[in-house]
Amino acid sequence: MDNLPAQYHPEPEVIEPEVVGYEKKPSWWTRFKSRALLSLMIGIAGLILSAVGALLTISIIGAAIGIPLLLLGIGAIVMAGYLFLGGGNFRVISLRSR
């Protein structure tokens, strides 16, 4: 210990508590932009699936793959519209007594 600098003070081994709290809710504009972007991406994917499915239904053999693609694309478009119009907004209701 003779070789240590004069200002050396060993730190105590203590774990400091973190500040933990609820994150603040993002603004309505941020939520709207993210919801619009996500629904736009899902809608475009649905349109692409529907277009590919429609092209495949021209032949009889391609219809086996094209019809499910059409249904999947239509489902994606409906889901995108539901998401954009506010679907998925729900409140948690607690029934326990305080």
Flag whether 15 is in a domain: no
d(CA 38, CA 80): 8
56, 66 in Cβ contact below 8 A? yes
Say what the pLDDT of residue 1 is.
55
Flag whether 56 is in a domain: yes
Flag whether 36 is in a domain: no
Flag whether 57 is in a domain: yes
Flag whether 58 is in a domain: yes
Q: How far is CA 86 from the centre of its chain?
A: 14
Residue 47: its H or E element = helix 28-56
Flag whether 64 is in a domain: yes
Flag whether 51 is in a domain: yes
pTM of the entire structure? 0.64
Q: Residue 50 sits in which domain range?
A: 46-86
Greater pLDDT, 11 or 77: 77
d(CA 46, CA 88): 19
Read off the pLDDT of each residue in 62-71 and give the average, rounded to a whole number: 94
Flag whether 66 is in a domain: yes
Domain count along the chain = 1
